[in-house]
């Protein structure tokens, strides 16, 4: 079955330093037309970091669109399409937490909001995590780093205390495969 939608026209609605929003008219496989809003994003990297004591490194951060402080793994946008996502993951870990890692290993890639955006997330597992970061978070990021054990993660998941998709994926990976 052909599911391909073909762009007919595209109108830019908004542009800033890392997001571009378009309203497109597309031709559907059945011959009809439809409108699609598309948010273009440079991509992002996230990192599952586990200390030598087998505690996962998380941050609590206010997320304005959902009006809630979310518990998340360290993550952030790529600085342009040419930044290596592995480098971004290492940078975000060091900026958002007191920890660094010697290297990262790609776990998985996924689209965060494919219904309206093209953001591709690169999820990494940090290796040789150490509490020695000298970097600081961006001025507009106010973060509370914290560590959770496997049991604490299981409890947080069971009590619906983690609402962030990338973090749910990462923690399930940790509990199942690490």
Q: Are residues 33 and 115 in the same domain?
A: no
Query: Catalytic pick from 139, 141, 144, 152?
Result: 139
Is there a domain that residue 20 lies in? yes
- Predicted local distance difference test score (pLDDT) of residue 81: 74
- Predicted local distance difference test score (pLDDT) of residue 82: 87
Number of domains in the chain: 2
Closest to 108 measured CA to CA, from 172, 164, 36: 172
Q: Are residues 117 and 63 in the same domain?
A: yes
Q: Which residues pair with 56 in a beta bridge?
A: 50, 148
Is there a domain that residue 1 lies in? no
Q: Are residues 143 and 77 in the same domain?
A: yes
Q: Are residues 126 and 173 in the same domain?
A: yes
Query: Is 144 one of the annotated active-site residues of the chain?
Result: no
Residue 15: give the domain boundaries: 6-40
Structural element, H or E, at residue 158: helix 150-158
- Predicted local distance difference test score (pLDDT) of residue 5: 98
State if pTM tops 0.75.
Answer: yes
The dihedral of CA 37, 61, 47, 158: what is its sign?
negative
Is there a domain that residue 162 lies in? yes
- Predicted local distance difference test score (pLDDT) of residue 141: 83
Q: Given the structure tokens 């975000």, which residue do they identify?
A: 92
CATH code for the domain of 128: 3.90.79.10
Q: Are residues 36 and 74 in the same domain?
A: no
Q: Are residues 98 and 140 in the same domain?
A: yes
Q: Given the structure tokens 């992002």, which residue do they identify?
A: 44
- Predicted local distance difference test score (pLDDT) of residue 140: 84
Is there a domain that residue 60 lies in? yes
Strands 68-72 and 75-77: unpaired
- The arrangement of strands across the sheet holding 20-27 comes to 6-15, 20-27, 33-40
Positions in the chain whose pLDDT score sits under 50: none
Cα-flanking dihedrals φ and ψ of residue 152, to 5°?
-65, -35
C-alpha–C-alpha distance, residues 4 and 122, integer Å: 25
């Amino acid at each position: 079955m052909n599911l391909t939608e073909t762009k007919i026209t595209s109108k830019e609605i908004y542009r800033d330093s890392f997001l571009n929003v378009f309203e497109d008219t597309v031709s559907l496989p059945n011959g009809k037309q439809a409108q699609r809003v598309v948010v273009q994003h440079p991509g992002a990297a996230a990192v599952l970091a586990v200390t030598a004591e087998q505690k996962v490194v998380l941050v609590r951060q206010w997320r304005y669109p959902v009006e809630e402080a979310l518990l998340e793994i360290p993550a952030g946008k790529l600085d342009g399409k040419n930044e290596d996502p592995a480098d971004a993951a290492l940078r975000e870990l060091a900026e958002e937490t007191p920890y660094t890692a010697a290297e990262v290993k790609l776990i998985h890639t996924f689209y965060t909001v494919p219904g309206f955006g093209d953001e591709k997330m690169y999820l990494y597992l940090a290796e040789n995590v150490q509490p020695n970061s000298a970097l600081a978070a961006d001025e507009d990021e106010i973060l509370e780093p914290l560590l959770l054990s496997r049991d604490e993660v299981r409890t947080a998941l069971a009590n619906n205390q983690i609402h962030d998709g990338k973090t749910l994926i990462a923690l399930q990976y940790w509990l199942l495969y690490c």
